[in-house]
Amino acid sequence: MTIRFIHPHKAFLPELIAYIDFFSSYGITTKVVSPAELTTTDGDVEWHFMGQHLRRRKNVITIHEYASASVPPLSVLKDSIKKLINAKPDYRIFNNDYVQQQFQTNDDIPFGIRNYGIPPGTAHLLPGIQKQYDFVYVGTVDKGRKLELLFDCFAKGALKERSLLVLSRVYDSLSATYEGAANITFKGPIPYNEVYFHIQQARFGINYMPDILPYNQQTSAKFLDYAACRLPIITTDYAWVRQFQKNYGGNYFYLQPRLNNFTWENISHFRYANPDLSSWTWEQQIRNSGILSFLESKFMGLKF
């Protein structure tokens, strides 16, 4: 059995690494290909990270995985168009219930939820690592995140004497805007297996998410990465993180809308607590998605 994972190589996909590690442990061959390479490789399963997939191949099990809903502007229209034009898969996987609600159509195609995951155990923790930065921000820096208010705190505001590490991909425009702020360091792209090392070089993790759809309903991968590294977490106040705290505990410093409370004194004297992440390992998330039972039903003798 061979699984081909298809995506356009435009973003980090830690879940892809998790899938490859999981299936390889069962002796299943995996390949990572771009949409353009589909016709030059063979496989029993095509696993598409959506996007668009307009035409499916015959006699191949097809899986569509949706990591997020579309972002503004016209996000609802974009999602509606994708539902209309995408081919019908054999199974769908959604990042969480909100994403499922945006994309699920009225058909009988089975689906499951596969949330973001973290590594098992404590091997990724580096308790003796030297702290090089006061804060770290991991993730996208596109305009929709409205990050200027946050970065201005370090460039000319209450935290101009404190250092910020930014781990991202396409950040040329933002780094040019803040090139005069020597306390802001941009790095990236960073290989996924090195991200935790850089996170643990900081004292605090910043989870900055605008309180608008779809951002405020979707799982924050960087929040979970900070928690996995046991960093104190500073976060904007929005629906997903409040629900996470209710379900899994922890104590986080919530930023006011205009960041008026974002001072070194306030965050230093706050009492932080780690959440319970025991159900958030990649293996558990994969098993919870239902995809393994589905594959077992399609391939005789397959057992996970």
**Greater confidence, 197 or 192?**
197
Q: What is the pLDDT of residue 83?
A: 66
| C-beta of residue 30 within 8 angstroms of C-beta of residue 5 | yes
Q: How far apart are CA 62 and CA 280, in angstroms?
A: 26
Stronger pLDDT, 170 or 151, i.e. the higher one: 151
Q: Give residue 245's pLDDT.
A: 98
| pLDDT confidence tier of residue 24, bands split at 50, 70 and 90 | very high
- Answer yes or no: is pLDDT of 75 > 80: no
The CATH-assigned architecture of domain 133-269 is 3-Layer(aba) Sandwich (3.40)
Q: Residue 226: which of 92, 136, 122, 109 has the closest Cα?
A: 136
Mean of pLDDT values over 150-168: 96
Question: Are the C-beta atoms of residues 289 and 96 closer than 8 Å to each other?
Answer: no
> Residue 40: its pLDDT value, please?
77
| Model pLDDT, residue 145 | 81
Across 128-154, average pLDDT: 92
| Confidence band, pLDDT 50/70/90 cuts, at residue 236 | very high
The answer on pLDDT for 12 being more than 70 is no
Give the mean model confidence (pLDDT) for residues 211-218.
Answer: 86
Distance CA 195, CA 92 (A): 29
The backbone torsions φ and ψ at residue 243, rounded to the nearest 5 degrees and listed phi first, read -70, -40
Contact 214, 203 (CB under 8 A): no
pTM of this structure: 0.91
Q: How far apart are CA 23 and CA 64, in angstroms?
A: 17
Distance CA 44, CA 3 (A): 6
Given a contact cutoff of 8 angstroms between Cβ atoms, the answer to whether 137 and 206 are in contact is: yes
Mean pLDDT of 96-116: 88
Nearest to 217 by CA among 239, 235, 236: 239
Residue-level pLDDT at 55: 77
Q: Whole-angstrom Cα distance, residue 278 to residue 282? A: 11
